Amino acid sequence: MQIITEPAEMQSIAESLRLQHQFIGVVMTMGALHNGHLSLVRIAKQKAGTVIMTIFVNPTQFGPGEDFHRYPRPFEQDAALARSAGIDYLFVPSPEKMYPEGFHTTIDPGPISSLFEGRSRPGHFSGVATVVVKLLNITQPHIAIFGEKDAQQLTLIRKVTGELNIGTKIIGAPIARESDGLATSSRNIYLSSSEREQATVLYRGICHAEIETGEGRTDLAVIAEEAESLIRSMPDADPDYVSFVDDETFEPADKALPGKAYRLVMAVRIGTTRLIDNWRFVCP
Ligand code: AMP
């Protein structure tokens, strides 16, 4: 595994791989690697001959007061995990290389970037869209794998790459979970042991929705309220939003129509840690 820190060097390696007819897959991460990231790598390895992983804690997608400075950066451990997962190139640029002095260009992904995660984190999705397009241009991949854990981000990346005619195929990967259902996340290490136990309530909220819709209920707004009350019953849980959305537009959805896909999306603060989760549902 080669570790690259210079954007120009990474781009010229990617260009020569393409000239050698290599099929390139990329997995973009902020590091603190866990099973969720490794499940993306497995998909990339199945589909691509050369796999590039990027590790970049992108300052422009963090708001003031968010956890940019305390975000975990266990680089040696990440490099060892990436190597043993079979990554060919690990691209780890510095913020200064990605955003040299005088950098101004940003991408505005439109209305979806001001809903849910975007409403709670102003500027977040513009930061995400801009860095993803930069990393796609640098790594020149045929395919890029993103987790459904960040479902709104995945939808937005499909939209931005489609609308900007970027040739990379975007592939979604299922959510990796711990054995008790908690979605695996780099932020789970912030949780105290009591908070870690309470954090399973997000998944229990999802299970409630799965059972109720499974019984034929279509009153999505009411089911989401029930899931939210269940989440609020934990002393340290403070939901930011719990809502069903149209799976394509992320517009809130109150009632399920046959044949349409919806997603229950949620962001919940457990103590000071903000966790997100979601579940997709197709109305029969
Ligand atoms: P992050 O390092 O949190 O920015 O995540 C990097 C990529 O891994 C994104 O595409 C995430 O959606 C994906 N990812 C993170 N956690 C999970 C998970 N539990 N299951 C599946 N994908 C995940």
Last residue of one domain, picked from the residues 173, 200, 220 = 173
Give exposure, 80-98, as e/b (b: 16+ Cβ within 10 Å): ebbeebebbbbbbbeeeeb
pLDDT band (50, 70, 90) for residue 4: very high
Q: Which of 37, 104, 124, 208 is catalytic?
A: 37
Question: What CA–CA distance (Å, rounded) separates 243 from 117?
Answer: 12
Classify residue 180: in a domain, yes or no: no
Question: What CA–CA distance (Å, rounded) separates 89 from 29?
Answer: 13
pLDDT band (50, 70, 90) for residue 94: very high
Domains contained in the chain, number: 2
Task: Return phi, psi of residue 183, to 5°.
Answer: -65, 130
Q: Are residues 69 and 114 in the same domain?
A: yes
pLDDT of residue 158: 98
Last residue of one domain, picked from the residues 173, 204, 230 = 173
Domain that holds residue 71: 2-173
For residues 168-181, give the mean pLDDT: 98
184 lines ligand 1 (CB under 6 A): yes
For residues 12-41, give the mean pLDDT: 98
Last residue of one domain, picked from the residues 146, 173, 200 = 173
Which position has the token pair 């997709």?
280
- Ligand 1 atom closest to residue 34's alpha carbon, by position in its atom list: 16
pLDDT of residue 20: 98
pLDDT band (50, 70, 90) for residue 229: very high
25 lines ligand 1 (CB under 6 A): no
Q: Are residues 50 and 166 in the same domain?
A: yes
Q: Whose CA is nearest to atom 17 of ligand 1?
A: 36
DSSP-assigned letter for residue 99:
S
Determine the distance separating the centroid of ligand 1 and the alpha carbon of 20, expressed in angstroms: 30
Classify residue 178: in a domain, yes or no: no
150 lines ligand 1 (CB under 6 A): yes
Q: Are residues 122 and 234 in the same domain?
A: no
Q: Are residues 216 and 271 in the same domain?
A: yes
For residues 151-160, give the mean pLDDT: 98
For residues 1-26, give the mean pLDDT: 98
Q: Are residues 13 and 104 in the same domain?
A: yes
Classify residue 179: in a domain, yes or no: no
Q: Are residues 259 and 197 in the same domain?
A: yes
- Ligand 1 atom closest to residue 33's alpha carbon, by position in its atom list: 2
Q: What is the mean pLDDT of the chain?
A: 98
Distance linking the first and last C-alpha atoms of the chain: 46
Q: Are residues 118 and 81 in the same domain?
A: yes
21 is catalytic: no
For residues 258-264, give the mean pLDDT: 98
Q: Whose CA is nearest to atom 6 of ligand 1?
A: 29
Q: Are residues 28 and 133 in the same domain?
A: yes
